[in-house]
Amino acid sequence: MYAIVDLETTGGLSEVDRITEVAIFIHDGSKIVDEFTSLVNPEREIPPFVARLTNISDEMVAEAPRFFEVAKRIIEMTENCTIVAHNASFDYNFLKHEFKMLGYDYRKNSLCTVQLSRVILPGMRSYSLGKLCKEIGIDLSSRHRAFGDARATVTLFEMLLEKGTRGVFEEYLSLDLYSAKHHPNVSPETIENLKEETGIYYFHDQEGNIIYIGKSKNIRTRVMSHFTGNTTRKAKKLKNAIADISFECTGSELVALLKEESEIKKHQPFFNSALKRGEFRYGIYAYPNKNGYINLIVRDKRAMKVEPVIYVYSKNRGIKMMEQVLEKFKLCQKLCGLYESRDSCFNYMVSLCNGACVGKEEVEVYNRRVEQAIAYLKGKGQNYFIVDKGRHSNERTVVQIENGRYKGFGYLDMEEAYVNATALKQVIIPSNGNKDTLQIITTYLRKKKVEKIIRY
């Protein structure tokens, strides 16, 4: 049985926004056998742009039932059903969070008609519900309303059932429930105990050996994904070897990354043949040219025989970092490999370069700035703590960097003051860092926001 769902909400974040309308069609694989549609009072104002999109106003939902008043109906009608939706993770996560606020653990397996359509109906110009329905001739007269979108999804799903194979639906089934079929060697209790929190997880074989270590912002979802969509031989072999699962919540995604890296190096699990982020393909290298000026350049590490100033994941990332230090330390585009020219670089022509590219700036003066740039890239002389969310609301994680080196991490009770460097050092559990560790931290800080950075 399938529960084909569409929701309208006050916004796009399930942990912040609320449901304003719900439509559910129960389908037995051949026809609709039950349906339910209702506006829902979100108990907050609907943003104007959302109201314009959905045509659902505050006035319309003022007298509508609140979610807890329709929750029992939803539970009863979706019992033993697989959730089906266009972009299923959106609708399913909203339902789960609404039930979570009521203290109820709502879990279903799900199918996404976006994913299925890409496989079963290849070559479409767009897979958004409106454009896809228009291209394949499905009526969608009430767009961005739950009933109209859900009814169109029913028709689309019926088409996919007719054209698709059982194997495709099996492969793209997203698990959130125990299934002896999908993981016969793992106990129901083990699956039930998995947390929907940030941390690392361990797969064990029959003898208890750790065979794989991973990290995720949602341990349960990531673990369950290992049991479906096993398209490679290695993925299938891993799945069949799993006999038990353990995990550790970290609160902070950065700490999860750091623990994953250190744990993989420590245990050397068979299926972690190479740490995903450990094999940096590129580096920023420094070398003097024939005139004595220090050049900086991004190169594939396989083409170099010396250690780089810093490793980077990709050439584009290296170039972006070079552009940052070029501007910060007023370096030469040509000597940084960012401008090809037989003469001066472009920045010199517009007075942004002091002329190292044409010998106008003294070698010693220019090289001093390059050395400063190198120290900046390496993080030398930088002492700071990274404070971010912990494993619960009254806790924070603390990561320490001293003189550009990773010193370790720890957890801090929020009742304690954490503005004092001495107090913060006391919670740090010492750890040996390496080039991979520091690279994880610097890359994370460039891409993600943390609660606070305290320098000392």
Q: What is the pLDDT of residues 33-90, one digit of tens each?
A: 999 999 999 999 999 999 999 999 999 999 999 999 999 999 999 999 999 999 999 9
Tokens of 373: 């740039």
C-alpha 285/C-alpha 312 separation (Å) is 11
- pLDDT band at residue 281 under the 50/70/90 scheme: confident
Give 195-244 as a 3 state SS string.
CCCCEEEEEECCCCCEEEEEEECCHHHHHHHCCCCCCCHHHHHHHHHCCE
Handedness of CA 40, 43, 44, 45 (dihedral sign): positive
Average pLDDT over residues 213-218: 94
Q: In which residue are the tokens 């350049």 written?
A: 297
Q: What pTM did the predictor assign? A: 0.70
C-alpha 434/C-alpha 265 separation (Å) is 11
**What is the reported pLDDT for 242?**
94
Tokens of 192: 């039930």
C-alpha 451/C-alpha 430 separation (Å) is 22
Count of Cβ atoms closer than 10 Å to residue 421 Cβ: 15
In the chain, the amino acid numbered 410 is G
CA distances from 393 to 242, 252, 389, 412 (A): 33, 12, 8, 11
Residue of 229 and 408 predicted with greater confidence:
408
Residue 276 has pLDDT above 50, yes or no: no
**What is the reported pLDDT for 184?**
84
Count of Cβ atoms closer than 10 Å to residue 74 Cβ: 20
C-alpha 267/C-alpha 277 separation (Å) is 17
Element of type H or E holding 111: strand 110-112
Count of Cβ atoms closer than 10 Å to residue 244 Cβ: 15
- pLDDT band at residue 456 under the 50/70/90 scheme: confident
Tokens of 46: 């609907």
Residue 278 has pLDDT above 50, yes or no: no
60 phi and psi angles, rounded to 5 deg = -65, -35
161-204: pLDDT as tens digits = 999 888 899 888 998 888 888 888 899 999 999 999 999 999 99
Beta carbons of 86 and 6 less than 8 angstroms apart: yes
Residue 381 has pLDDT above 80, yes or no: no
Residue of 263 and 438 predicted with greater confidence:
263
Which residues, other chains included, contact 361 with Cβ-Cβ below 8 Å and sequence gap of 6+?
354, 355
C-alpha 107/C-alpha 170 separation (Å) is 18
336-371: pLDDT as tens digits = 999 998 899 999 999 999 999 999 999 999 999 999
Count of Cβ atoms closer than 10 Å to residue 31 Cβ: 9
C-alpha 81/C-alpha 4 separation (Å) is 9
